[in-house]
């Protein structure tokens, strides 16, 4: 998150006051509609409890760090994407723990896991604040005070953050290699379906709100690209690397890059015209 924050200025938040509707639609899509649809998907598919809780956790996370790049590549509204990333990150400090706790507790199989783990909501809020809030604020501060330094740092941090994420994925794969052999195909289709629903949620909600096409692309990508890195950190912090949750979240982290870049490539070669729609 620190690397993303190095591209954000306080002035970027002014978009919220100048034109709040796209931002509100994006927040509604990410933190309210997607978790609700995820819960319905869990009821329909009825996966094993740990995978179900992984789905709920992924849906509770804010947008992923690569969403700004994909939005720019796809011809979307990058300023909106940056603003949404920043605001969603701040809101995630409260809404990620609340969504996980709420949706996880209303589904009996995942409720049992939450009771066994006994997560203290305030403890999770503190951890998310440290992971997301502090780097965001520090990164914005550096970009405001030392813009040249921010540009230099962001180049190296992109490589470092990608390397860290890859190592995290490899660690999950290694520690759960036997479980992956049994559940790879099972998790594969769940992640693809869940991710498709996430993209469709953003697209449908933004289209229904009759937003400009560039904003529709931004909100679609912001909703479909989730911060699976945060999800994995929370899984290892509070759930002791619970196999089903970790596998689901790790595979989401791989798949949303593939699906996001594929969608971005399609849109990159589809010229935008005035009006609404994709």
Domain count, the chain: 1
Statement: residue 33 has pLDDT above 90: yes
**Lowest mean per-residue pLDDT among 121-125, 137-141, 223-227, 263-267:** 121-125
Distance CA 23, CA 119 (A): 31
Domain assignment present for residue 277? The answer is no
| Residue range(s) defining the domain that contains residue 96 | 2-268
Specify the higher pLDDT residue, 275 or 191. 191
pLDDT (0 to 100) of residue 176:
63
pLDDT band for position 1 (cuts 50, 70, 90): low
Domain assignment present for 117: yes
The pLDDT tens digits for 201-250 are 999 999 999 999 999 999 999 999 998 888 888 888 888 766 788 889 88
Of 39, 58, 86, 56, the residue nearest 229 (C-alpha): 58
pLDDT in tens, 179-204: 666 777 888 899 999 999 999 999 99
Domain presence at residue 209? yes
**79, part of any domain:** yes
Tokens describing residue 166 = 């890859």
HSE value, Cβ hemisphere, 13 Å, CA-based, for 125: 9
* Structural contact between residues 256 and 228, judged by C-beta atoms closer than 8 angstroms: yes
CATH assignment at residue 58: 1.20.1530.20
Question: Which pairs count as long-range contacts for 110-118, CB under 8 Å and 24+ apart, including other chains?
Answer: 110/42, 110/49, 110/52, 110/53, 110/56, 112/49, 113/49, 113/50, 113/53, 113/239, 113/242, 114/53, 117/238, 117/239
| Better pLDDT: 15 or 129 | 129
Whether residue 102 lies inside any domain: the answer is yes
Q: Could you tell me the pTM of the whole model?
A: 0.83
Query: d(Cα 227, Cα 223) in Å, to the nearest integer?
Result: 10
Residue 164 in tokens: 């860290």
Q: Is the dihedral of CA 161, 166, 169, 170 positive or negative?
A: negative
201 located within any domain: yes
Q: Is residue 276 part of a domain?
A: no
The partner residues of 212 in beta bridges, in order of sequence, read 276
Q: Is residue 273 part of a domain?
A: no
């Amino acid at each position: 998150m620190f690397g993303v924050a190095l591209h954000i200025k306080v002035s970027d938040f002014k978009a919220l006051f100048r034109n709040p509707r796209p931002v509100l639609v994006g927040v509604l899509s990410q933190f309210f509609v997607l978790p609700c649809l995820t819960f319905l998907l869990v009821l329909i598919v009825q996966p094993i409890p740990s995978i179900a809780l992984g789905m709920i956790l992924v849906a509770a996370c804010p947008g992923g760090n690569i969403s700004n790049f994909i939005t720019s590549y796809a011809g979307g509204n990058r300023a909106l994407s940056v603003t949404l990333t920043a605001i969603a990150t701040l809101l995630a400090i409260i809404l990620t723990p609340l969504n996980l706790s709420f949706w996880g507790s209303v589904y009996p199989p995942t409720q049992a896991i939450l009771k066994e783990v006994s997560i203290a909501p305030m403890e999770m809020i503190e951890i998310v604040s440290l992971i997301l809030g502090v780097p965001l604020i520090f990164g914005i501060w550096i970009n405001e005070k030392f813009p040249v330094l921010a540009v230099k740092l962001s180049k190296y941090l992109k490589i470092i953050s990608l390397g860290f994420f890859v190592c995290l994925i490899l660690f999950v794969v290694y520690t759960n290699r036997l479980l992956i052999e049994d559940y790879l195909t099972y998790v594969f289709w769940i992640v693809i379906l869940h991710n498709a629903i996430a993209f469709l949620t953003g697209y449908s909600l933004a289209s229904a709100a009759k937003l400009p096409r560039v904003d529709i692309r931004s909100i679609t990508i912001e909703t479909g690209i989730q911060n699976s890195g945060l999800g994995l950190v929370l899984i290892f912090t509070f759930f002791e690397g619970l196999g089903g949750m970790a596998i689901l979240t790790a595979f989401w982290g791989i798949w949303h890059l593939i699906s996001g870049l594929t969608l971005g490539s399609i849109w990159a070669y589809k010229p935008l015209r005035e009006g609404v729609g994709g």
